[in-house]
Chain A
């Protein structure tokens, strides 16, 4: 199945893109999508312990399941205001 990955701020800079589509296995979790991503972009791995995640624009956890067509977002520590 395929998911759309969204990256923001410095994660986007490190990967060189803010949006990409990737195939993941059926039953994959957000954490598995992150694993695919860090395999492709090792520089992202430093964010492993500080990112937040979202599925279809709702905050999620690393062990949340993803489905075909989902938008999975990885968010570095926030700095709004």
Chain B
């Protein structure tokens, strides 16, 4: 059983690993029984804008990505009563494969849902990972947000999206 909360890996992701990481006790005692568990799985889509996507290749700056995961974990814990796990895959992914998984355990379902949404929004803002999209007729690097972990406005926007549902 894996209890690694934060992971960047070229191997296929397994949701059970994340669920174990947020529900299993670390010291061998019975699990605390969080009451609510919310998960998010991001999958490779077969289209983007008007392009027919063939596959994605994910690249990451792994040590900085893990530090960004830690920061997101701290920001999540400051706002909600939750335990969070976050795994992101790198390398070649085919259509339908999971690129990212999030699990959030909490005593309260509202916190679990909100924190899960916050984490995926924050990933898209500050985690140094990039999609290289291969589509019918060409390829393109997808470029989203300029990562700035100290941008309070971006963080507040992620909190707002999470709270509005």
Binding site for B on A (CB under 8 A): 6, 8-10, 12-13, 50-52, 54, 57-59, 73, 75-81
Q: Name which residue of chain B comes closest to A80, CB basis.
A: B129
Q: Which residue in A57, A73, A75, A79 is a CB contact (below 8 Å) of B142?
A: A79
Size of B's binding interface in residues, CB under 8 A: 33
Most chain B CB within a 10 A radius of its CB, from A12, A50, A76: A76
Are the C-beta atoms of A9 and B132 separated by less than 8 Å? yes
B107 an interface residue at 8 Å Cβ cutoff?
no
Interface hub of A9, A13, A50, A76 (most chain B Cβ within 10 A): A9
| B124, CB-defined interface residue at 8 Å | yes
A80–B100 alpha-carbon span in the complex (Å): 8
Q: Which residues of B contact A (CB under 8 A)?
A: 42, 58-61, 63-65, 67, 88, 99-100, 120, 123-132, 141-150
Q: Is the CB of A78 within 8 A of B147?
A: yes
Evaluate contact between B67 and A80: CB separation under 8 angstroms.
Answer: no
A-B contact number at CB 8 A: 91
Contact between chains at B63 and A78 (CB < 8 Å):
no
User: How long is the Cα–Cα vector from A10 to B51 in the complex, in angstroms?
Assistant: 19
CA distance A79 to B120 in the complex (A): 11
B42 partner residues in chain A, CB cutoff 8 A = 81
A34 to chain B: closest CB distance in Å? 14
Q: Are A77 and B143 in touch, CB under 8 angstroms?
A: yes
- A50: which of B127, B130, B146 is its contact (CB, 8 Å)? B146
Contact partner of B64 (CB less than 8 A), chosen from A50, A51, A73, is A73
